[in-house]
Structure 1
Amino acid sequence: MSKSLRKDICNLRLPGTLAEEVDRSKVEECIPAQLQYACSYWIRHLQKSLVDPSLLETVCTFLKQHFLHWFEVLSLLRKMDENTSMLVTLHDLVQIPNHQRLFDLVRDVYRFGMTHRSTIIQAPLQTYCAALIFSPSKSKVRALFEGQIPSWVKLKPSVPENWTSLLQTLEGHLDTVQSVASSGDGQKIVSGSNDKTARIWDARSGSLLQTLEGHLDWMIVSGSGDKTVRIWDARSGSLLHTLEGNSTILSVAFSDDGRKILSGSDDCIARVWDIGLISLPQSSLPQTLEGHLDSVLSVAFSGDAQKVASAEDYTVRIWDAQSGSLLHALEGYSVLVTSVAFSRGSQTIVSGSLDFAVRIWDARPGSPLHPRDVNNEVVRSEVWSVALSAIGQKVVSGHQDKTVRVWDVGSSSLLQTSRGHLDQVTSVAFSGDGQKVVSGSNDNTARVWAAGLDMDLQTPTGHSEKVWAIAFSPNGQKIVSGSEDTTVRIWDAGSGSLPHTLKDFTGYIRLVAFSSDGWKIALRTQGSAYGQVWDLKSGTLLEEDDLNPVSTAAPSSGVPLWKPDVKD
C-alpha cells in the first residue's frame, strides 16, 4: 500500500474537482483492486493481528507518510464514512504503554478526519488544500503535511492553535432542532426538528442513517394533544394500549425498568401509570400528582422509580411514585423551570430555568433542601435544557446564548463551554458513556461535543432549517436529528456522514427517541394528526396512527411493555 499511494493518484490536477465528476472507470484504472482492498480494510486486519512494537512503528510511519494519500483514495472510492468510523478502532488499538507518540498522532488523525470529512468526501484533492489550511496551527497532521499545500495559496486563514470541544456538526435539518437523545449503547443519535422530520445519525461517523416521519423505539410511549398516552410496539409498529388523560400531554418519561410511565400535562397534573397492570379492567387509572399551578412541561423518574420530579410553575416538585404524596417542593425560582433531570442513582436532581441558573439538588432522604447553584456570574444566559450523565457525575446545559456547557456535579464547577451553534440551544443529551454530548439548536444543526475536553471533532451538514430534536443511539454510534426542514436525518456519530434522510413530513419534528437496540426511532411531528414508527434497517414506515405526540420516551433496559398474549 505504501509503495502505491501518492498525491493525485487519478491525475485530476484541479483541487476543485468533485468526486462525483470522476469517471468510475478512471478510478478502477488508477487504483488497482489490491490497493482498493488494502485502503479499505487495513485497520480491520490490524485489529485481528498480534500488535507488537514493530507493527505499531510501521503504522506510525505509514500515517506520517501516506495519511492524506489514503484519505484521497477513500474519497475516490466513496468509502470515507466507514473508514472514518474505523479511526475510532485504530485509536483504541494504540492506547498501550510506551507508545504515546503514536497515540497522539492517531488522535490528531481522528480529529482531522472527523472535522474535514464532508469536505474530503466532496472533493478528494481538498485533502491537501482546505482541510490542511483550516486545521489548527498545532495539529500534528498539519505539521507533517504543510508542504503539500498548493504554492498558490498565499493568504491562509486565522485558525486556533488546538482542536476545540466540537466533535461533529450534524447538518441536514431545515428548521430548529427541538429534541435530541442518545441511544443507550451510544451508537446512534436521534434528533427531532420543526422541519417535520426526525433523523437518526451514526454517533461514530456522524453520518445520517435515516430521515423519518415518525417515532421509533423498541418500545415507545408517546404523549399527544389528543389527551392520550399511547404505548407502541416499535418492532411491529402496532398500538399496544391507549391511556386516557384529561388534557394535552406535554411530556412523558419511562422508569428505568420499563414498568412505569410518567406524564406531565396542560391541566397542571403529573400522572404515573403502572403499565404492568394496564390489561386489568380498573388498573389503567393513573396515580395523579396534583399541586402544580401551571402546565407540567418536564418530568423525570428517579433511577429506582420510587420518586418523581416534575417542573414548570417556578418550582420543582418531588413525589412518592407509589402513594402520590408530595415529598418536597424545591423553590427559589423567580421564572419558569424549563427542564429537570434525576441522576441514575436517585441522589441528585438537576434543574434548568430562565433565570440563567443550573441548580443541583441533593435528593437523598434527610438532606437540606438547598440547591448548589452554578455560578450565575459565570453564566448569564437562559437555560433551555439540562441532562445528567449516566453515572451522575456531569451535567450538560443548553443556553439561549448559543453555548453548551458541561458542569461537575460534585463541585458545581464549570468544566467546559462549547461554542459553535449560531442560535439558542434547545436540547441536550449525553452519550451512554458520558464522553460525548449531543445538542440541538435553532440554527438547524445538531452537534456532537467531547464532554470535558477542549476538542472540536466535526459539524455534519444537511439540515436547511432549525434543528428541534436530537438523540444518541444507545451504543453512541448514531445520531438522529429532526428539523424544520421537514426531514429526519440519521448520522454516523464517528465520522459525521449522513447515510439516511427521511423526507417530506407534514410538520417539523419536535421530539425524537431511539429504541434500546438502536434500530428504530420515535418522533413527534408538530401539527400532524399522525404518529409514525420507522424501521432504520429498511427505512420503512412500520405504523401510522391517529395521534399527534408531543413527547416520547423508551425504557433504558429494553423491557417489553406488553406481553404478546395480551389483547388491547
Structure 2
Amino acid sequence: MKTDFKFSNLLGTVYCQGNLLFSPDGTHLYSPVGNRVTVFNLVENKSHTLPFAHRKNISRIGLTPRGNLLLSVDEDGHAILTNVLRRVSIYHFSFRSQVTALAFSPSGRHFAVGLGRKTEVWHVPSTPDNNAEGVLDFAPFFRHHAHAGHFDDVRHIEWSTDSRFFLTASKDLTVRIWSLNPEEGFQPTVLSGHKQGVVGAWFSQDQETIYTVSKDGAVFMWKYVKPKNQEDDAMDEDDDEADMRWRIVERHYFMQGSSHVRCAAFHPDSNLLVAGFSDGIFGLYEMPDFNNIHKLSISQNDIDFVTINKSGEWLAFGASKLGQLLVWEWQSESYILKQQGHFDSMNSLVYSPDGRRIITTADDGKIKVWDVESGFCIVTFTEHTSGVTACEFAKKGNVLFTASLDGSIRAWDLIRYRNFRTFTAPTRLSFSCMAVDPSGEVVAAGSLDSFDVHIWSVQTGQLLDQLAGHEGPVSALAFAPDGTSLISGSWDRTARVWSIFSRTQTSEPLQLQADVLDIAVRPDSLQIAVSTLDGQLTFWSMSEGEQVAGLDGRRDVSGGRKFSDRRTAANTTGTKAFHTIRYSADGSCLLAGGNSKYICLYSVTTMVMLKKFTVSVNLSLSGTQEFLNSKLLTEAGPTGELDSQGEESDRENRRDDSLPGSKRGDPSARKKLPAVRVTGLGFSPAGTAFCAASTEGLLIYSLDQTVQFDPFDLNMEITPASTLAVLENEKDYLKALVMGFRLNEAGLIRRVFQAVPPTAVGLVVADMPTVYVPRLLRFVAAQTEESPHIEFCLLWIRALVDKHGGWLSANRARIDVELRVVSRAVARMRDEIRRLADENVYMVDYLLGQAEKDSSRKSTGARRVVDGDSGEMAGNMLVEMNGDAVSDASDDDEWLGLE
C-alpha cells in the first residue's frame, strides 16, 4: 500500500475570524479558516484550501488587484506571501506587532497595514509579470514610510482610486487622511465628530465625498467645502481657499435600537453601503440619499465582516461564533453560498460507499453531509436533540445510521434525505457506540449507562435482543465484514466476539490489560485490532481467539504539551492513547489517532510505524507545542487560561450573555484555547485518501496522483516528437505507447491511447511488457472515469483481464487501488447505460403512440416530425435524457459504439 499521503483539503470549517476577500473578477472568495486560507469558487461551486499553514490563527488577509499575490497575517504579525495561481508560499515576514488592518493600493505597488496605533506603507514585491526586468527582489518587503497619529487601534484602511491618498479609521473616534507621497499643499487631515469608534471610511467614486460609519450607527458624509455660515463676499480668493476644509455635510443614523454596527462596506461604483449589526441583521442602503433598499436577518449572532465584490452584485458575510459564511445576491434576493460548520467538536465520521461524500457528527446534535469534490456541506440533519456520538453506513445502498446521547438510533435515507426509522431502548439510555450488519438488516448499539448490547431489526424497528455479558459500560462495537460476528469492547477490560446469527448466541471474551477505547476489524474478517487506555494496540485472530501481535503506541501518540500540563510532553505518555483506529482498504495498514497532534500509520504485517502525520502546527490550540514559553506563566497560572473578559475595552465584550451554569448557552465557549485532538478517522473506499476529524475541522489527506513528469527508463532518443513520428508514420502503436509511458506525459499518452484502432487493442495489450501493465491499468482506470469513449475503454479493460489475468491476480496487493477504480467505473457505466436505454424506450413508445393517434395524417405527420421543429425537439429531448455519456462525447464518435 502507498503511504505518501499529503494534506489536500480542509472541510468542516468555512470561517473563523478576520476579513473576507473577493477575487478581482468576483468569482472566488477567500476566507481565513484557523491558520489556513480556503478559496471558494462561487461559479463552479468548489472549494480548496491553500497548502501553507501559519503558526497562529490568521487575523488579516490581503489580495493584490491582479489577484496573483495573497498576503496573510496571523495574530502575532507573521505574514506569508503566496502565489495564488501556483499555490506556493513565496516569502515569510514578520511585522513584529499585531496587524489590525490591511489593504493593497489599486495600483498594486503598495499596501498599508495598521499595527495598533501606527500605520505603515510597504512596497509590494515585484513579480515577473509586473517587473520590466523580470527579476524578483532580493528583499521583497521594504517599508515606504510610517505614520503615527491615532490614539487607539486602526480598524480599517481604504485607498483612493488613484492610489495617492488613503484613509485610516480608528477606535479613537477619528478618521485620518494620508498621502502616499508628499503632495503640494496637502497636510494630513483629521476627521472627528463621531461619538464611538469608527468602523469604516470610504471615498466616493469621484473622490469628492468621504463616508464614515461609527459603531453607534452614525453615517457621516464629508465634503471639502466652506462653512455654511460664510456669507462675507468681500473675502479675496486666498481667504476662501484658506477656509476650505473637510466638513460634515449630512448625518444619517441606522436606528437599530440596542444593537450596534459590527462591520460595514461601501461600493463606490454603485453607491451601495452595507452594514452588519450585532443582532445578526444587515442593511443595504443607497448613498448619498441613505435610501434603505432592504434589511435581512441572516445569523443568530454578530456579523463580524462584510465585503462586496467588484461588480457590486454579491455580498459576503462572515459570522465567527457559529462559523457561518454567506454570499448574498441582493438584486435577486437569493443565496449564492450558505455554509456553516459544526460549532461543537466532531465525534465521528464515515465515508459513503462510493467515496464521494463524508458524513460527520458532532456534539451540537447535527449530522452534516460533505461533498468531497466540491468541499461543501450539501445537507444537514437536525432531528437529534443531543450530541451524536457515532455514524455508520450500510454496506449496500444509501442508508446511514447514527447514534445519539438522546437515546435514539436513527436511520437516514440519503437519496430523499429523510429519517425513515428510529430505534429506542426500553429504558432511557445514552448511546455511545454503534455497528451495522454488512447486509444492513441488523443494527447494534452500546451505552455507557448499561452493560448490555442492544440489537434491533432495521426492517421492523423492533428490539431483537439484549446481549448481556460485559461487566462495564460498552465503549466500542464492530461487525465483521463477512457478517458472521459482532465484536464489542468494554471498560471491563475485555472484548467479546458474539455469534448473534447462530442458534446459540455464544460470546468469547478476549482479556486485555486496560479499558477498551476502540475496535477495528480487518476487511478480510481474519483479524481484530483493539486500542486500550494504556496506549497499547493488540491484534487478535478471529478464528483462534488468540493474540497474534501487539504494539506499544504511547511513545508514538505522545507529543504536545497543553497550557495546563504540569509535566513536559515527553513525560505525559501515560495519559495518551489511541481513541480511534481504522484499517486501510486492503487491510495492510492501520491508522490510529487520539487526544494528540499526531496520526500514526502502522504496518500490520511488520508492526512498524510507517508514517506519522502532524494534524496541526497552530499555536492558538492547546497541545501543539513541545515546550511552553516560561514568560507566559504567571503566579495565577498560564496566561492562556486567565479570564480577561472583564478587562475588555468594549462594553459589549465585557458583558457575559451565557446562562448561569449552562455550558451550551454560548456556542463559542469551546473556542477558548481548544485542545488539538483527533476524534474520528476514515479511509476512502478506494484507499487513495483518508479523512481525520480534528479540532480545526475535517482534514483530507490524499495520494498525490498529479505528477506531471516522472520519466521511466528514459534515453536520449525518446522525445514527444519521436513518439508522434512512430505513431503517425510507422503506425507502431505498441512502441509509441511504451515511449509515452517512459516520458509519462498525460497529454501524450492520451493521444497515443486514442489513436489505437479498436481492432488492434488486443494485440497491443498482449505484447505489452509486464513492467508497464500497472501503468497502463492505472491510465485506463482514469480514462474510464473521464473519457466519453465507453466501449473503447471497456475493450482495453477486457483485453487487460484476458491477456494479463494471471499476473493481475498474482499481484493484486500492488494494484488493488487501480482495480477498485476500474470496478467502480464499470459499475457506473452499466447503471448509466441501463438508465439511458430505459428512458429511450419510453421516449420511443411515446413518439410511436403520438404518431398512431391520427392515422389519416400519418405520412404528413411523419414528414413533419422528421423535417420540422418537432423532430428537432424530440431529438433534443433524447439527447438531454441520455445524460453525460452523450453530452460529453467528442468528435470521435466511432469509439462510442452505442449504435
- TM-score w.r.t. length of structure 2: 0.31
- TM-score w.r.t. length of structure 1: 0.47
| Higher-Rg member (1/2) | 2
Higher relative contact order (CA 8 A, sep 6+): 1
